[in-house]
């Protein structure tokens, strides 16, 4: 130990005091020492000298080591205490250690004293450090905006932070003392989900998961919570404890609902006048055709094309809000897949002058599903292919039977998609970022809708792409999704 330590020595025998000083120096300790032999001096030195260690003889004039130790403990100072005395009985040694002494060294074995001093100081230092770490951790746990909850490996609450109490309203003490079941405050409908999530963690099947579910607070209010859970395992891989962080997302859920309602109402409100404009446009076209006013007819036709675009955008918005609210209805029947693809390709070709859309159909393919929605998926993929390949003039549609279904692909020779975005493009509102990408208009919901529709048909959708060379979007759907999983 290179640091100079401060030793407070309770000793009434000057020879012993010198001997002990000699042993400490011999042991290589750098120290500063105060020797006292009365209670008053001892108390004064504790507060003034603030020692790193107290060495105490047992019997002193009108004072003893037990009292000295008691005074030290009462002072709440975290200072090690070593009894340095002549021979003592084993019972006495046990007693003083029980009272909180760190060690005892017999005066006829003083060579052990330097290491006893260093060990005791180090022990206290480590304990202080551990205490500080624990206090810091507890501070963080109690002061994060998230509630912290710990469950044991039987799913019983072990720890429930103050913030968790504020969020869920339940008293932490009552829960811990009653070893409360964490599911008791989960909203009835969400209990199976919460139970499954906890079981997955307890079985060690997953190490981390996230769930949103409703809870009933102590005063009966229903709130939405988001849980981030993880498990701590022992060295044999057995789950020891589940740590959960919880946050109240009721406000966020409420806003989401309001936003969904807003989109739903707005797209409905937009749809009615646009449908009327479209009808008047067609009427005007007919009248102008009769009058052979080709110049005005051309203007009206151009306006009609923009109205069609607007109708399709509103349709996309409506579908999106319906998916969000679980209200997108599917009208299913068997249909000829080739017919559908050809029809959609023809419709798209009519409005696309920049690209030739080539179709490679398969012989015969009947699919059970919603014809219109599958057609929308293809329309979406083709319009993206056109939009994102401004410097090419060709789109290739291919179909093939694969497994017990059909696989459709839409290939373009456009800008491509970076590898790291390939999974994300099917997520709602996701748009690839980048200078060139941001020049293309869009809402980032087309592929999300495609993915929803294909998944609802029991199929899969994915994309392969090379930057600067183009992309191929694939969709596979089973011939009859009702047969799947039977
Ligand atoms: P958007 O309205 O933005 O086109 P989508 O959901 O249809 O929304 O597509 C999501 C994102 O995927 C797009 O913003 C674009 O970055 C990328 N993307 C989609 N199709 C293609 C494609 N054929 N080529 C390159 N990027 C594409």
Indicate the DSSP class of residue 156.
B
For residue 180, name the pLDDT band (cuts at 50, 70, 90): low
Closest atom of ligand 1 relative to the 415 alpha carbon: 25
- At 467, the pLDDT band (50, 70, 90 cuts) reads very high
365 inside domain: yes
CATH number of the domain encompassing residue 186: 3.30.450.20
Q: Which of 72-76, 93-97, 221-225, 423-427 has the lowest mean pLDDT?
A: 93-97
Of all protein residues, the one whose alpha carbon is nearest to atom 2 of ligand 1 is 442
The CATH number of whichever domain residue 36 belongs to comes to: 3.40.50.2300
So what's the pLDDT on residue 2? 57
Proportion of the chain above pLDDT 90, given as a percent = 68
Does 214 score more than 60 pLDDT?
yes
Asked if residue 194 belongs to a domain, the reply is: yes
Q: How far is the CA of 431 from the centre of ligand 1 (A)?
A: 6
Verify that 259 and 244 share a domain, yes or no.
Answer: no
- For range 454-483, the mean pLDDT: 96
Query: Which residue CA neighbors atom 14 of ligand 1 most closely?
Result: 431
Q: Is 483 domain-assigned?
A: no
Taking the centre of ligand 1 as the mean of its atom positions, its distance from the CA of residue 425, in whole angstroms, is 7
Inside any domain, residue 59: yes
Residue 486's pLDDT is 44
Question: What integer pLDDT is reported at residue 485 of this predicted model?
Answer: 56
- With a cut of 90, say whether residue 31 has pLDDT above it: yes
Is the pLDDT score of 215 beyond 70?
yes
pLDDT score of 337 more than 90: yes
* Angle of helix 65-74 versus helix 90-99 axis, rounded to 10: 10
Q: How confident is the model at residue 177 (pLDDT cuts 50, 70, 90)?
A: low
Residues 39 and 117 in one domain: yes
Q: Are residues 238 and 219 in the same domain?
A: yes
Alpha-carbon distance of 141 to 245, in angstroms, equals 10
Task: With a cut of 70, say whether residue 176 has pLDDT above it.
Answer: no
Last residue of a domain, one of 297, 324, 351: 324
Q: What was the pLDDT predicted at 90?
A: 79
Q: Judge if 125 and 14 occupy the same domain.
A: yes
Shared domain check, 87 and 154: no
Q: What's the token pair of residue 439?
A: 């020049």
Q: Which residues line ligand 1 (CB under 6 A)?
A: 384-385, 388, 412, 414-415, 417, 425, 430-432, 437, 442-448, 471
**Predicted confidence (pLDDT) at residue 219 exceeds the cutoff of 90:** no
Residue 399: CB atoms within 10 Å? 20
Give the residue from 206, 222, 248 where a domain finishes. 248
Same domain assignment for residues 157 and 189: yes
At residue 402, the 3 state secondary structure works out as: strand
- Nearest-atom number in ligand 1 for the CA of 449 is 6
Q: 351: domain CATH number?
A: 3.30.565.10
Is 484 contained in some domain?
Answer: no
Q: Which of 316, 381, 384 to mutate to test the pocket of ligand 1 (most atoms within 8 A of CB)?
A: 384
**CA of 431, closest atom in ligand 1:** 14
**Number of structural domains found in the chain:** 4
In the predicted model, is pLDDT for residue 184 greater than 90? no
DSSP annotation of 214 reads: E
Q: Based on the fold, state whether residues 244 and 257 are members of the same structural domain.
A: no
What's the CA-to-centroid distance between 464 and ligand 1, angstroms?
A: 13
Distant-in-sequence, close-in-space partners of 71: CB < 8 Å, separation ≥ 6: 39, 42, 43, 46
Residue with CA at minimum distance from ligand 1 atom 25: 416
Domain that holds residue 232: 144-248
The answer to the question of residue 185 being in a domain is yes
The arithmetic mean of pLDDT across residues 435-453, rounded, is 89
User: Which pLDDT score, from 0 to 100, does residue 179 have?
Assistant: 54
DSSP notation for 316-341: HHHHHHHHHTT------EEEEHHHHH
Please check whether residues 104 and 212 belong to one and the same domain: no
User: Which residues touch 109 (CB under 8 Å, ≥6 apart)?
Assistant: none
Residue 202 lies in a domain: yes
CA separation (Å) from 304 to 215, 282, 317, 468?
A: 51, 8, 20, 34
* pLDDT surpasses 90 at 334: yes
Atom 8, ligand 1: which residue's CA is nearest? 444
- Looking at residue 217, what is its pLDDT? 87
Angle at 250 between CA 248 and CA 256, to 5 degrees: 130
Looking at 413-480, which runs of residues are DSSP E strands? 460-466, 470-478
300 and 243 fall within a common domain: no
Residue nearest to atom 7 of ligand 1 (CA): 446
pLDDT score for 1: 47
CA quadruple 11, 12, 14, 16: dihedral positive or negative?
A: negative
3-state secondary structure of 354: coil
Across 364-388, average pLDDT: 95
User: What is the DSSP secondary-structure string of 382-422?
Assistant: HHHHHHT-TT--EEEEEEEEETTEEEEEEE--SS---GGGT
Per-residue confidence (pLDDT) for residue 436, from 0 to 100: 76
The pLDDT, as a whole number, for residue 232 is: 93
Of residues 414 and 484, more confidence is placed in 414
Residue 419, token pair as written in the block: 């590898």
Q: Is residue 229 within 8 Å of residue 243, measured between CB atoms?
A: yes
Helix (H) or strand (E) holding 160: strand 157-160
Report, as an integer, the average pLDDT of 366-393.
Answer: 96
Residue 53 CA, ligand 1 centroid: distance in Å: 71
Q: Which residue has the higher pLDDT, 344 or 365?
A: 344
Q: Are residues 291 and 189 in the same domain?
A: no
- Whether the per-residue pLDDT at 100 is higher than 90: the answer is yes
Residue 144 Cα to ligand 1 middle (Å): 38
377 C-alpha vs ligand 1 centroid, how far in Å? 13
d(CA 367, CA 383): 23
Mean pLDDT across the stretch 89-107? Answer: 89
Confidence category of residue 170, pLDDT binned at 50, 70, 90: confident
- Would you say residue 9 has pLDDT above 80? yes
Closest ligand 1 atom, CA of 447? 6
Residue 485 belongs to a domain: no
**Mean pLDDT over each residue of the chain, to the nearest integer:** 91
Distance 384 CA to ligand 1 centre (A): 6
Q: What is residue 307's predicted lDDT score, i.e. its pLDDT?
A: 93
173: pLDDT confidence band, cut at 50, 70 and 90?
confident
Which residue, among 184, 122, 193, 192, has the nearest Cα to 157 in the 3D structure?
A: 184
Whether 88 and 163 map to the same domain: the answer is no
Dump pLDDT digits (tens) for 231-243: 999 988 899 999 9
> What band does 181 get if pLDDT is binned at 50, 70 and 90?
low
Residue 333 pLDDT > 50 = yes
Distance 421 CA to ligand 1 centre (A): 10
Same domain, 303 and 339: no
* pLDDT at residue 155 is higher than 80: no
Q: What pLDDT sits at residue 211?
A: 92
Atom 23, ligand 1: which residue's CA is nearest? 385
Q: Which atom of ligand 1 is nearest to the CA of 414?
A: 24
For residue 388, report the distance from its CA to the centre of ligand 1, in Å.
7
Ligand 1: which of 390, 422, 447, 453 to mutate, most ligand atoms within 8 Å of CB? Answer: 447
Q: How far is the CA of 443 from the centre of ligand 1 (A)?
A: 9
Which residues make Cβ contacts (< 8 Å) with residue 243, sequence separation at least 6? Answer: 148, 149, 150, 229, 230, 231, 232
Q: Residue 285 belongs to a domain with what CATH number?
A: 1.10.287
Neighbours of 208 (CB within 10 A): 10
Distance CA 470, CA 417 (A): 8
Ligand 1: distance of its center to the CA of 444 in Å? 7
CA of 449 from ligand 1 middle (Å) equals 12
Check if the beta carbon of residue 65 is closer than 8 Å to that of residue 58. yes
Which of these ranges, 104-113, 138-147, 239-248, 291-300, has the smallest mean pLDDT? 138-147
Give the pLDDT score at 361: 84
Domain's final residue, options 201, 216, 248: 248
């Amino acid at each position: 130990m290179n640091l100079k330590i401060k030793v407070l020595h309770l000793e009434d025998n000057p020879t012993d005091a010198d001997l002990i000083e000699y042993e400490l120096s011999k042991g290589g300790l750098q120290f500063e020492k105060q020797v006292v032999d009365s209670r008053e001096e001892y108390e004064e030195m504790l507060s003034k000298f603030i020692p790193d260690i107290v060495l105490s003889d047992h019997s002193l004039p009108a004072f003893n080591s037990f009292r000295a130790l008691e005074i030290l403990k009462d002072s709440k100072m975290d200072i090690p205490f070593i009894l340095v005395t002549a021979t003592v009985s084993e019972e006495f040694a046990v007693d003083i250690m029980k009272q909180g002494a760190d060690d005892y060294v017999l005066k006829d074995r003083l060579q052990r004293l330097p290491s006893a001093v260093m060990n005791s100081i180090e022990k206290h230092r480590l304990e202080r450090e551990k205490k500080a770490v624990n206090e810091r951790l507890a501070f963080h746990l109690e002061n994060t905006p998230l509630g912290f909850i710990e469950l044991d490996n039987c799913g019983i609450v072990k720890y429930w932070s103050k913030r968790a109490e504020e969020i869920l309203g339940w008293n932490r003490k009552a829960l811990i003392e009653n070893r409360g079941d964490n599911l008791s405050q989960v909203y009835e409908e969400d209990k199976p989900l919460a139970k499954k999530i906890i079981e997955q963690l307890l079985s060690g099947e997953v190490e981390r998961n996230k769930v949103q579910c409703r809870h009933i607070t102590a005063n009966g209010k229903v709130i939405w919570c988001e849980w981030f859970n993880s498990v701590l395992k022992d060295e044999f891989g057995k789950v020891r404890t589940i740590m959960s962080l919880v946050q109240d997302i009721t406000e966020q859920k409420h806003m989401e609902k309001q936003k969904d309602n807003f989109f739903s109402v707005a797209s409905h409100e937009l749809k009615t006048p646009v449908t009327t404009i479209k009808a008047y446009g067609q009427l005007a076209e007919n009248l102008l055709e009769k009058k052979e006013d080709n110049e005005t007819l051309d203007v009206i036709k151009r306006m009609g094309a923009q109205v069609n675009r607007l109708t399709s955008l509103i349709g996309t918005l409506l579908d999106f809000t319906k998916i969000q609210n679980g209200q997108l209805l599917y009208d299913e029947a068997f249909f000829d897949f080739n017919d559908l693809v050809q029809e959609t390709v023809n419709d798209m070709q009519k409005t696309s002058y920049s690209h030739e859309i080539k179709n490679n159909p398969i012989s015969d393919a009947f699919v059970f599903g919603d014809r219109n929605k599958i057609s929308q998926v293809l329309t979406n993929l083709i319009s993206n292919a056109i939009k994102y390949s401004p410097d090419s003039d060709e789109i290739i549609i291919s179909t093939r039977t694969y497994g017990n279904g059909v696989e459709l692909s839409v290939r373009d020779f456009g800008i491509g998609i970076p590898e790291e975005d390939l999974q994300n493009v099917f997520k709602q509102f996701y748009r690839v970022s980048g200078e060139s990408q941001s020049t293309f208009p869009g809402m980032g919901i087309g592929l999300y809708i495609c993915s929803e529709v294909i998944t609802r048909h029991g199929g899969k959708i994915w994309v392969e792409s090379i930057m600067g060379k183009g992309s191929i979007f694939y969709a596979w759907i089973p011939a009859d999704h009702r047969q799947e999983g039977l």
